[in-house]
């Protein structure tokens, strides 16, 4: 724990709390919450919530989903000791129509519900309470009521006795340093809150129109002051570099954006985007400077979301549904383009070497181009699979290992293709930065009626139309979307990467390939599901089968069996099923489809001045620092 800010506590409080909130006069009385932590070491909180002007049957619920997460999470499971009284303190009956809901009737218009909630999981989705902090994701912590979506919210956080905990949040401050507000339900749910003895730094950014915003880093960590300084220096480079991509910062509500950092070995790892804040966490120690640098990749990804997904928002996610899983066919833009820029900006900000940056993006795209899953699902369908893949758990087995590619990776691969294509078609005048600016101007910048709402979310057709606008070529935009987005084709990366002086080669040209992955403990046993269409699949091999002989020779290891073989060779194989049945078959070897990117210099070629200029324009800093 660090105590470096105790001397300056009043200054910190002023910084965090005295920024006037731009909230309009409130007509309806707010839904009022109070949360306290009688014994944080036991990982629970006590919550009291008061609903006024309640309907005859008040339907109080715990969320089943959380903004930025796409699988269902049953937060109701950690709620216990629920009670309800009315405005006069009369105890009210509670019924349970479903696992997530508490119905309250017989009240006088006011319903006050109290409950305890357990939480011991620090990340961007759950509630984590221990003796050092209370890390609150709002859907995981607070009960709400149906029909109260447009009512304002007021929350009072109670400081545990004897603690130095303070509050960091994107919720709007009030005159009381422990009480905050949200203009509506969506904004409240989107406002994770960290209470701890965190370290704080801040810096300002300015838009071309002169508006200034304060970027706050509130970081709960175990390292020295210098670690936080280095963290903030890296964060500032990233923030300015991303501002340069869009040409301006979003008008952060209340004038501030807050990084809620949690870097303690007993915490969790995550990054979760919100409108005016992000949770960035890693179960590491800032006593190790290496870990400070390692944290920057997540900072870069999450801050890009302040534009892309928080404001340039898929229509399929607006408004976010807290009762169901949220499915979006546009996750490849929301997460994939963010993934691409997260990496690219690390290079532009000088936090990652240029070669590593471009080869990382290129090799990730080549992995998509050669992945067996592309034959089953388009990137839109991969996006729609998010409720089953994004921090989702299943008891039964799936075949996602070969039928699913993450929309982060797939979307990043398409961002790379779109970027390189725009650059090549325009002789370097256009790039994906211009595409993001167009998405921003039409869909992000117009904002919403209230903080937390987005007025002009985009559809897949909008995303295609913006590409037509930027490129000035609607046939190109139609073709790109038809083949690579709705279709399952992969862009020609070898051609696209050539102007950057990147060569694409077969990973192991001429080497025999089976598509098999053997068990690590027992090299004769097939170790994973065998992907469709591979030589091993065609030979009838499947996970759990034990190879006994190849071409009459007792099997020992795959590498030994394939030595001196070549693609096209037919091998007589014998294997034993888990049932004990012995199978004889023929394995026809293929060639490893894997591709690899390398700089032209590393392959003995020469980088031309044009290629050098292309790299500079692609990977060079855009920020005026």
- Report residue 301: phi and psi, to 5°: -60, -50
Q: Is the dihedral of CA 409, 414, 417, 420 positive or negative?
A: negative
Nearer to Zn ion, 141 or 338 (CB): 338
Helical residues (DSSP H) of 337-492, grouped into ranges? 338-348, 354-369, 379-383, 386-389, 400-403, 407-425, 432-439, 460-471, 474-480
* Least distance to Zn ion, CB of residue 338, Å: 5
Backbone angles phi, psi at 572, to 5 degrees: -80, 120
Residues numbered 158 to 177 that lie near Zn ion (CB under 5 A) are none
Nearest alpha-carbon partner for 255 in 204, 189, 308: 204
CB 482 to Zn ion: min, Å: 27
CB of 334 to Zn ion, least distance (A): 7
Least separation in angstroms between residue 68's CB and Zn ion is 7
Angle at 262 between CA 256 and CA 264, to 5 degrees: 160
Within 372-411, which residues bind Zn ion (CB under 5 A)? Answer: none
Q: Considering the complex, what minimum distance in angstroms separates the CB of residue 67 from Zn ion?
A: 11
The nearest distance, CB 142 to Zn ion, in angstroms, is 23
Contact between 279 and 260 (Cβ < 8 Å) = yes
| Other C-beta atoms lying within 10 Å of the C-beta of residue 564 | 6
Query: By C-beta, is 181 or 242 nearer to Zn ion?
Result: 242
| Cβ–Cβ < 8 Å for 242, 304 | yes
How far apart are alpha carbons 157 and 178 in whole angstroms? 5
Walk across the sheet containing 199-206 and list its strands.
Answer: 199-206, 212-221, 256-263, 277-281, 270-273
What's the rounded Cα separation, in Å, for the pair 294 and 100?
38
Q: Which is nearer to Zn ion, 284 or 338 (CB)?
A: 338
Residue 25-44 contact track with Zn ion, rule CB under 5 A, x = bound = --------------------
Whether the bond into 319 is cis, omega within 30 of 0: yes
Site map for Zn ion, 279-318, x if CB under 5 A?
A: ----------------------------------------
* Residue placing its CB nearer to Zn ion in the complex, 270 or 545: 270
CA dihedral sign of residues 569, 572, 573, 579: positive
CB closer to Zn ion, 336 vs 512:
336
Pattern 191-230, Zn ion, x by CB under 5 A: ----------------------------------------
Site size toward Zn ion (CB under 5 A) is 2
- Cβ–Cβ under 8 Å, residues 261 and 281: yes
- Residue 409 CA to residue 415 CA, distance in Å, equals 10
Residue nearer to Zn ion on the CB measure, 326 or 338 = 338
Q: What tokens were used for 91?
A: 């105890």
Closest approach of Zn ion to the CB of residue 304, in Å: 8
The pattern of x and - marking residues 234 through 253 that bind Zn ion according to CB under 5 A reads --------------------
- Closest approach of Zn ion to the CB of residue 272, in Å: 8
Toward Zn ion, which CB reaches closer, 228 or 454? 454
In whole angstroms, how close is the CB of 390 to Zn ion at the nearest point? 10
What distance in Å separates the CA atoms of residue 236 and residue 368, rounded to the nearest whole number?
Answer: 32
- Name the residue nearer to Zn ion (CB basis): 78 or 339: 339
- Residues with Cβ < 8 Å from 3, sequence gap 6 or more? 164, 197
Q: Is 533 left (phi over 0), alpha (psi -120 to 50) or beta?
A: left
- Closer of 335 and 545 to Zn ion (Cβ): 335
Nearest distance from C-beta of residue 10 to Zn ion, angstroms: 36
CB nearer to Zn ion: pick between 102 and 458 = 458
> Shortest approach of Zn ion to residue 415 CB, angstroms?
13
CA–chain centroid gap for 13, Å, is 30
- Considering only residues 323-352, where is the footprint of Zn ion by CB under 5 A? 335, 338
Q: Which is nearer to Zn ion, 136 or 299 (CB)?
A: 299
- Name the residues that contact Zn ion, by CB under 5 A: 335, 338
């Amino acid at each position: 724990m660090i105590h470096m800010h105790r001397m300056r506590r009043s200054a910190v409080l002023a910084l965090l709390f005295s920024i006037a909130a731009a909230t309009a006069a409130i007509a309806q009385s707010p839904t009022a919450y109070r949360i306290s932590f009688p014994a944080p070491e036991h990982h629970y909180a006590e919550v009291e919530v008061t609903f006024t002007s309640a309907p005859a049957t008040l339907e109080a619920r715990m969320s089943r989903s959380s903004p930025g997460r796409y699988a269902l999470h049953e937060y109701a499971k950690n709620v216990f000791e629920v009670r309800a009284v009315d405005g006069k303190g009369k105890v009210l009956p509670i019924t349970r129509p479903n696992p997530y809901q508490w119905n309250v009737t017989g009240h006088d218009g006011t319903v006050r519900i109290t409950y305890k909630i357990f939480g011991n999981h620090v990340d961007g989705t759950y509630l984590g309470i221990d003796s050092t902090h209370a890390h609150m994701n709002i859907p995981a912590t607070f009960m709400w009521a149906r029909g109260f979506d447009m009512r304002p919210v007021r929350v009072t956080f109670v400081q545990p006795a004897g603690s130095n905990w303070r509050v960091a949040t994107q919720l709007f401050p009030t005159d009381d340093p422990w009480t905050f507000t949200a203009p509506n339900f969506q904004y409240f749910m989107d406002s994770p809150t960290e209470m701890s003895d965190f370290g704080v730094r801040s810096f300002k950014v300015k838009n071309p129109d002169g508006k200034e915003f304060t970027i706050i880093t509130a970081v709960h960590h175990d390292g020295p002051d210098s670690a936080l300084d280095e963290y903030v220096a890296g964060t500032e480079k990233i923030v300015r570099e991303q501002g340069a991509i869009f040409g301006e910062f979003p008008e952060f509500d209340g004038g501030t954006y807050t990084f809620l950092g949690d870097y303690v070995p007993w915490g969790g790892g995550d990054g979760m985007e919100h409108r005016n804040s992000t949770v960035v966490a890693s179960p590491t120690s800032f006593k190790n400077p290496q870990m400070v640098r390692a944290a920057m990749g997540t900072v870069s990804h999450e801050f890009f979301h302040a534009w892309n997904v928080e404001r340039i928002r898929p229509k399929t996610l607006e408004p976010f549904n807290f009762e169901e899983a949220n499915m979006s066919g546009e996750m490849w833009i929301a997460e994939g383009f963010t993934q691409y820029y997260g990496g690219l900006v690390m290079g532009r900000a000088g936090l990652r070497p240029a070669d590593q940056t471009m080869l990382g993006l290129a090799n990730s795209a080549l992995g998509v181009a050669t992945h067996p899953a592309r034959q089953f699902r388009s990137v839109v369908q991969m996006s729609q699979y998010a409720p089953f893949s994004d921090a989702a758990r299943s008891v039964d087995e799936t075949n996602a290992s070969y039928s699913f590619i993450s929309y982060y990776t797939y979307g990043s691969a398409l961002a790379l293709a779109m970027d390189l294509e725009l650059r090549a078609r325009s002789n370097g005048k256009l790039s994906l930065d211009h595409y993001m600016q167009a998405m921003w101007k039409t869909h992000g910048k117009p904002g919403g009626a209230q903080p937390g709402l987005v007025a002009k979310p985009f559809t897949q057709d909008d995303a295609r139309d913006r590409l037509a606008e930027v490129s000035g070529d609607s046939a190109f935009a139609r073709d790109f979307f038809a083949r690579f987005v709705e279709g399952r084709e992969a862009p020609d990366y070898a051609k696209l990467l050539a102007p950057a002086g990147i060569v694409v080669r077969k990973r192991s040209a001429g080497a025999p390939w089976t598509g098999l992955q053997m068990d690590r403990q027992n090299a004769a046993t097939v170790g994973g599901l065998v992907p469709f269409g591979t030589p091993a699949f065609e030979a009838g091999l499947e996970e759990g089968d034990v190879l006994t002989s190849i071409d009459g020779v007792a099997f020992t290891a795959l590498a030994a069996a394939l030595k001196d073989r070549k693609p096209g060779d037919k091998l007589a194989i014998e294997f034993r099923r888990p049932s004990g049945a012995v199978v004889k078959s023929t394995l026809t070897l293929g060639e490893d489809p894997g591709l690899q990117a390398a700089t032209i210099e590393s392959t003995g070629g020469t980088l031309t001045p044009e290629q050098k200029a292309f790299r500079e324009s692609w990977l060079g800093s855009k920020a005026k620092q």
